[in-house]
Amino acid sequence: MRGGKRLAVALAVALALAPAVVPVSAGAGGPALDYVLNCQGCHLPDGRGMAGKVPSFRGQVARFLSVPGGRAFLVQVPGVARANLSDERIVALLNWLLPRFDSDHLPAGFRPYTADEVARLRATPEVRVAARRARLIAAIEDLKELEKSSNLSSKN
């Protein structure tokens, strides 16, 4: 009877979690599936992350591309640099993820990641993630302020 009870609990949990996945068509692979299998556990299906623990992708991740070192950082964070995915699959995942979760902040003239670039950057994973991320976020905030003041002065 215990085994049956465990199975029932496992099925109930599986059914409760079933809608909480990025939709992937039957037989589909590619970056959407790689996101489900490698990123979604922490960043969640909609990319919102977990406040105070896991950064959100939504409306934020492409901003890193606009500050020095930000593009490299997205590849060098341990979850990407050490992922059990080929360089080509990391390329496909990043180039899918950026417009999916933050198309509004993709820089004009965005260059998609390449396999050579990803291979080079993955060779030196970031070990001081929090400190580097904090510096990049500060640079992003400075850039936002600069853009805001530039928009105000152009309206006058």
Architecture (CATH level 2) of domain 26-155: Orthogonal Bundle (1.10)
Per-residue CA distances from 153 to 83, 96, 105, 108, 149 (Å): 45, 35, 21, 22, 6
CA 108 to CA 85: how far, in whole Å?
Answer: 28
The pLDDT score that the predictor gives to residue 28 is 59
140 and 66 in contact (C-beta within 8 Å)? yes
45 and 117 in contact (C-beta within 8 Å)? no
Tens place of pLDDT for every residue, the chain, 156 residues? Answer: 456 666 555 545 444 554 444 454 444 589 999 999 999 999 999 999 999 999 999 999 999 999 999 999 999 999 999 999 999 999 999 999 999 999 999 999 999 999 999 999 999 999 999 999 999 999 999 998 988 887 766 665
Domain-by-domain residue ranges, the chain?
26-155
The pLDDT score that the predictor gives to residue 24 is 47
Which pTM value belongs to this model?
A: 0.78
The pLDDT score that the predictor gives to residue 152 is 66
Closest CA to 87 of 125, 120, 40, 41: 120
Residues whose CB is less than 8 angstroms from the CB of residue 61 and which lie 6 or more positions away in sequence, other chains included? 47, 74, 97, 98, 101, 102, 105
